[in-house]
Chain A
Amino acid sequence: MSLKRLFNPFERFFSLIEKETRVLINDKGAMIITFFIPIISIVILATMVPEQLVSDEGGGTGIGGVVGTEIPLVGIIDYDNSEGFPDRDLSADLVAKFQEREENGECRLLISTNQSELEKMIGRGELDTFIIIPSLFEFNLSIHLPVILPVVLDTIDSISLMSFQEFVEGVIYEFKVENNFMGVFQLTKIRMNVPENNQTYFAAFPLLIPMLIFGIGMLTSCQAIISDIPKDRMVLTPTNKQEMMAAKVVANTGIQLGVGFIIFISSVFMKLEIRSSYFEYAVVLFILILNAVLTGVAISALAKSSLAAFQYFIFVFILNLVIMWFVQDPTILALIPLNNGSEILLQVVLRGQSLWTCFDQIMNLTVESIVLYIFAYLVFRRQKTML
């Protein structure tokens, strides 16, 4: 750095940004991985799951594929011996419907006459669900009465539960439509705004993208202060901590904008159906990136060693995830950047609402960012020994 540049605050600041950026870019391996994470995540989501998750119409809950492509183990027990329709055995027809699915490789079927055996199997996790066709099934339908079809579900495997329920509901719905057992209200269900392309990516978008941005942004910038070896020497120059801190934030934000750019381009490339303008989408990404970087820098200022910074990161990241998934209190959720980011992406980018409708979430993120910046600066200023 020349003397002229050193004493000119603006030039000094830009030199600092340049230095910070160079430090980050010099670690080419880390940068490659940084930019590779969103690409690999989006590619897996776009290519390794079925294209069509939900149809525009149809039965079931319509969410089967969102949570998996596993083959369910289905049990059936047929208690119906009643007569009602001439030349037909309705319960056998329903069983045949499941057998058809088994032949197509969509499920594995166990036809039993022993309910306690099925109960035992479901308790041991050897069966995902079983259907009980009740007695008088055919007779009640023949006299225009509705029947209740109990479906026993294993709730312990919570990840696959929804897709297995969807599968069974889908088969039953198909059976109802084919036989015109549609009840009093003949429903025509129409699903609006179903994306034509990459439905899994679309479904995962509001959850995955904030996770990617916060994960990568926080992790990279959580080393900004703690791992900066030359900063002790730099304090001896006219450079002050305020400038150093601002330069770190700008440089890290710059790098993370690259990650944001990859996400942005991937969305276009993967034909993500967004309803906002691309400008609004970019603004949302920028807000999230800035918050992630500032959280990381605050961690870096607080941590006493590089390893401690990583530990703080994992703590903050897992806490964010856990609260977002499982805690429903609106006041607590408002404090969680991942949740705010997820809401803005869903409401603005996917639903096409104006940014104004997410004013609360944007304000939460902005206030958090400012508070984090001030906090990080105060901690950084108080630090005496930096190495």
Chain B
Amino acid sequence: MAEIFEDAKTRFLRISAMVIKEFKSLLQDKSTILILFLVPLVIIPVLATSNISTDRLIPTIWIIDYDNSEQSEQFITTMQNSSGVEGLIELSKIVYASGELAPIEPPFLEKEAFGIVSEELAQKTIPTKYLDAYIILQEGFQESLATNGTAELVIYFDAIDFILMVTSEMTVLVSLTDIQLQNMLLERDIYFYPELRPDQTDMGILALTSSLIVPLLGLFTMLLISSQSIVGDIPLKRMLNTSLRRGEVVTGKVISYSTLALFQVLTTLLLIKLFGVMINCLWIELFFVVLVNSIVGVCMGIFISTITRTKLQASQLFLMVFFIMFIFQYFTRSFLVFIPLEQTKIAYEALANRGMSLLDPIVLNALFKLALNGIFYYVFSLIYIKYIKKRFV
């Protein structure tokens, strides 16, 4: 029994020495530490002071009028003047009608060019950024409205920029609703009316994105810095000739980099609080979740550092991990259980936005998956450094 205690004590001393050595070498490189804190110190104020703007998403719509009737002219005028349905939804747009001059792609050396709105020109212009949608008012538009109470509209949308296409479709639908209401044109229809919970219209960018940004900053900065920890550790080879065991290197590094992460998380969350982002849970609970996220980043980084042979390899592998995680989280939405950022996002949203507690099953589940990711990388780093890794710098 005494031997076990003695062994644990010497192991503890060796790991402590490793942690102290790691801190000393990290603190020697002051610029590295500075940048680690500079990342949240710059990015959070940038987000906090930015305003939401939809200028880029203002669609340009052309109306090609083949009816040339009083009703079609009224349609065009209402479409041009409508800014949405009053009291419900407001959307900006730029509308040009048949015969008007609309901006088109300028020829070489000319700053701008204009063309007369027509179907032929619309077909040519629709792939470019100068036109997002065009509406055809067919011959007999007025007559159809008068006799049937309905009229056919053909609308062409450009689908190259998907986000802009969504905005264009929504803008056209809202404008058509406004035209019907203003002219008391009523017919069987089902209007999809979205109600937002919570209503985010008055929320700032930082409040809207904190569940994405805070985990991202913590995970990737710690992942990158710790991905250089073993592969860039020059004295490590000599140290392994002492009584220091290989597994203890990994543990020592995880502890020292996690301590560094603790201060970074603290800075980030203090900034979040400072800029008035609403946190509906105990601050310490959120701190815990974000810290676990950063520790998982450290474990992943150390795993990368263990399996690579050069600093460049480690950094490239970091980038590959970043891209794979990014694609899985934002595009394919698959393998999310293996994406620490997604698990942190779930836990963060549940705590900070939904006001749950750390003991809530949703939070615990996400936290468990997150921790499992970290443990996986930690254990594999131990196995790799102990049994597989042969070369050190």
Contact = CB atoms under 8 A, between A and B. Distances in A.
Interface of A: 27, 29-30, 33-34, 36-37, 40-41, 44-45, 48-49, 53-54, 61-63, 66-70, 119, 122-125, 141, 144-160, 162, 165, 168-169, 172, 175-176, 180-194, 200, 203-204, 206, 208, 211-212, 215-216, 219-220, 223, 227, 275, 303-308, 310-315, 318-319, 322-323, 325-330, 346-347, 350-354, 356-357
A66 B316 contact: no
A314 B31 CA distance: 14
B129 A351 contact: yes
Contacts of B126: 192-193
B304 to A, nearest CB: 10
B331 interface: yes
A352 B194 CA distance: 35
19 contacts: A29-B313, A30-B313, A33-B317, A45-B332, A67-B331, A146-B186, A149-B193, A153-B197, A185-B151, A191-B158, A204-B327, A208-B327, A308-B29, A311-B35, A311-B224, A318-B220, A346-B160, A354-B108, A357-B128
Interface stretch (B5-13, B41-49, B92-100, B271-279): B41-49
Nearest to A146: B189
Interface string B163-206: 10110011000001001100001111111111111111000010
Given A37-B323, A311-B224, A347-B129, A150 B153 contact: no
Interface in B321-339: 322-324, 326-334
A149 B191 contact: yes
Given A125-B349, A125-B362, A219-B315, A305 B166 contact: no
A217 to B, nearest CB: 11
B320 A191 contact: no
Nearest to A50: B332
Given A44-B324, A160-B333, A146 B313 contact: no
A147 B189 contact: yes
A290 to B, nearest CB: 19
B39 A315 contact: yes
A41 B192 contact: no
Nearest to A157: B349
Contacts of B313: 27, 29-30, 33
A16 B246 CA distance: 40
A188 B152 contact: yes
Nearest to A273: B160
B242 interface: no
A351 B312 contact: no
Contacts of A41: 323-324, 327
Contacts of A203: 162
Interface in B29-57: 29, 31-32, 35-36, 38-39, 42-43, 46-47, 50-56
B200 A219 contact: no
Size category of the B interface is: 35 or more
Nearest to A36: B320
A34 B170 CA distance: 41
B157 interface: yes
Interface string B119-163: 000000011110000000000000001000111111111111111
Interface string B195-219: 1111110000100110111001100
Given A194-B159, A220-B316, A319-B46, A328 B330 contact: no
B312 A188 contact: no
Contacts of A40: 320, 323-324
Contacts of B315: 30, 219, 223, 310, 313
Nearest to A305: B29
B350 to A, nearest CB: 6
B105 interface: yes
B190 A125 contact: no
A184 B187 contact: yes
A212 to B, nearest CB: 7
A327 B190 CA distance: 36
Contacts of A48: 332, 334
Nearest to A201: B331
A158 B212 contact: yes
A306 B109 contact: no
Given A158-B212, A215-B323, 19 more contacts: A36-B320, A67-B330, A146-B190, A151-B193, A159-B333, A181-B189, A183-B189, A187-B176, A191-B165, A200-B332, A304-B31, A306-B228, A307-B232, A315-B38, A322-B46, A326-B50, A327-B205, A328-B50, A357-B128
A16 to B, nearest CB: 19
A190 B225 contact: no
B128 A353 contact: yes
Contact of A314 (B29, B106, B193, B220): B220
A223 B156 CA distance: 50
Contacts of A69: 332-334
A328 B56 CA distance: 8
A311 B264 CA distance: 14
B52 A328 contact: yes
A186 B311 CA distance: 62
B296 to A, nearest CB: 17
Given A311-B35, A326-B47, A352 B128 contact: yes
